Amino acid sequence: RTQVALNLARCLEKTGRPGEALEAYEMACRVNPEHPLVLRGYAQALMRRGDFAQADERWNGLRRLFPDDLEITWEQGNSLALAGRHREALSCYQQVLAGKGALFLRARAEYGRALAFHSLGDRARSLQAREAAQRILAALLQEDPGQEEARRWLAFLREPSEIPSPIPVGDGRGGK
């Protein structure tokens, strides 16, 4: 039943029915309240709806269940940043950077820091974090030139911009 409800929620989201998708995620949570894909999808759907308080509860639950999953920590940082809780978001991004995450995740955490610092009015640290993200992505592409998503992010970050673009809310991997 969990997989059916999860598939239904994803289908409803893809067909532009976010309210019904949330109901399907809620149903899936009642069936299996610790299923990581259900909780992650539900938290992302709540973020897209702008319900950051409930999304944060879901991310906290996921982090309790999977304390070593740095993707979850990064996504919670995004949720906090979108809610305007930039100092808390910075804490999440720092945890990602302190962990042993993949280079692409580290670059996304640095970019999250750039956005948070920018929102807090710290232009110098925002630029430093953006440059750090660029260095990480360049190193990743040096190791594996076939990383197309990393190549797109690097091209985006190299474009001159005074105000950073917001963090994408999507699949947890930087996509939509």
Instruction: Give the whole-angstrom CA distance, residue 38 versus residue 29.
Output: 7
pTM over 0.95: no
Out of 1-10, 37-46, 115-124, which region has the weakest mean confidence (pLDDT)? 1-10
Look at residue 141 in the predicted model and tell me its pLDDT.
96
pLDDT of 142 higher than 80? yes
Show contacts of 65-69: CB within 8 Å, 24+ apart: 65/34, 65/36, 65/39, 66/36, 68/99
Closest CA to 80 of 47, 107, 49: 47
Query: HSE (CB half, 13 Å, CA atoms) of 35?
Result: 19
Residue among 70, 39, 68, 69 nearest 56 (CA):
39
Q: Could you give the percent of the chain with pLDDT greater than 70? A: 91
Per-residue model confidence as pLDDT tens digits over 29-85? 888 888 889 899 999 999 988 999 999 989 999 999 999 999 999 999 999 999 999
Task: Give the per-residue pLDDT at 167.
Answer: 52
Helix H or strand E encompassing 64: helix 52-65
State residue 162's pLDDT score: 63
pLDDT score for 172: 42
Angle subtended by helix axes 123-143 and 103-119, to nearest 10 = 170
